[in-house]
Amino acid sequence: MTEDKIKNLLQEADRMAGLPGAVSANLSAIVRRRAHRRHLRISLTAPLAAAAVILIAAGIWNLAIRTTEKTKDQEKIVLLEKQFEQLQAKTDAAINLIQEVLVAEQKKDSLDELEAQLASIPDPLEEIQIQVDKTAFILVYQADRLYRELNRTDSAVETYNRVIELFPKNRWAQVARERLSEIDSRKFNKIDSKGELKWKPEIVSLSC
Amino acid sequence: MMVMAETIDDERLVEQFNRGDESAFDRIVEQYSSDVASLASRLLGWSGEVEDVTQDIFLAAFLGLKKFRCDCSLRTWLFTITVNKCRSYRYKRMLRKRRISQVADKAIDESAGSADKKSMDNETFDRIRRAIQALPAKYREAVVLRYLQELPAEQISLILGISKNALQVRLNRARARLRDDLGELTKEKL
């Protein structure tokens, strides 16, 4: 098919389709009206868009400020919480210290009380020593009476010997030794000077 | 000579318009509206959307006329706007009515074979028009401007923004496609 044939065919088909409907008589008026509306819309759109942008920016700014304030409040709260925790820790430490001091004082009081009680208990060794002393004294006293008042020298010597045997380191053992020595020396004197008794043992005082 | 006079007249109209005389635009519309509407109708497949498209074309012209530098004729400039607006319209329509169009085309294809001669001619020409519309946009625009608007190659090159050689290539390829699509019809016709 040649170009002209195609052209003829296309033009025939175009012709058969008919011309487009008549363009509106007031097309230019319509176009001008639309153009003015568009111009008005554009002229209004810019300020409106600017206002919208400003509003949005203000909203964002306000939100940002609120968020920042909130953050500051939160920071303050966190700081206060930390301070509170520190104070709590200090208080706990002070309470623990006070409790420790109180416990120590209680222990000290108990110890003092125990020491006082212990101090009030007499020393058993001293008691024994006193009893030993007393026993030795009584024995020496009985021996002196046997010898001086009853003239029972043998019994007295035996008792002195018992004191020396039982309480060798006691002072009354020393007294008993002195008595025995005197008895021996008196026996010796009695034998030498006609058998008279010159020395008499003194009664031992009961004061200890 | 005629082109020269037209160009001088265009410059005068544009100058009047730029001075604020909107009646110049009335004359432009009066002078070119039918050509613009015809081209829009052909580019849009002889559909009924021509009036809306024509309004949009002249609205674009009204808004852009102050920037028009008279590098080409006002007709060429308006045809360029027309081609671009029709591309946009076709694209939007394609997105909107793709399925509906397919169903309609299929129905039309199936209705072929009427015994009536006049009816047969109508169907034939419908088929030719559909073949034109089925061409890719760059071929369809070249065919419409060259064979239906019968514009010179130089003007078409300006409108489409391509070289003459490129236009010739497009026209050759468009004819080849039409031959493929309308082969039997051409035998009958010829």
Distance of residue A41 Cα from the nearest chain B Cα, in angstroms: 14
Q: Is the pLDDT of residue A186 over 50?
A: yes
- Span B70-110, pLDDT tens digits: 778 888 999 999 999 998 888 888 787 765 655 555 555 55
Among A56-60, A164-168, B98-102, the least confident range: B98-102
Q: Which residue has the tokens 């012209």?
A: B61
Neighbours of B88 (CB within 10 A): 11
Q: Is the pLDDT of residue B113 over 50?
A: no
CA gap A176, A140 in Å, rounded: 6
Among A45-49, A135-139, B41-45, B50-54, the least confident range: A45-49
Percent of chain A with pLDDT over 90: 29
- Whether A30 sits inside 8 A of B29 (CB atoms) is no
Q: Is the pLDDT of residue A199 over 60?
A: no
Flag whether the ipTM exceeds 0.85: no
Which residues of chain A have a Cβ shorter than 8 Å from any chain B Cβ?
1, 3, 5-7, 9-14, 16-21, 23-24, 27-28, 30-32, 34-35, 38
Percent of chain B with pLDDT over 90: 20
- Whether A23 sits inside 8 A of B175 (CB atoms) is no
pLDDT at site A95: 93
- Span A94-153, pLDDT tens digits: 999 999 999 999 999 999 989 888 888 878 888 888 888 899 999 999 999 998 888 888
- Span A136-147, pLDDT tens digits: 999 999 999 998
CA gap A91, A93 in Å, rounded: 5
What pTM, to 2 d.p., does this model score? 0.54
How many beta-carbon pairs below 8 A join chains A and B? 91
Over chain B, what is the mean pLDDT?
A: 80
Q: Could you tell me if B28 and B13 are in contact, meaning their C-beta atoms sit under 8 angstroms apart?
A: yes
pLDDT at site A86: 92
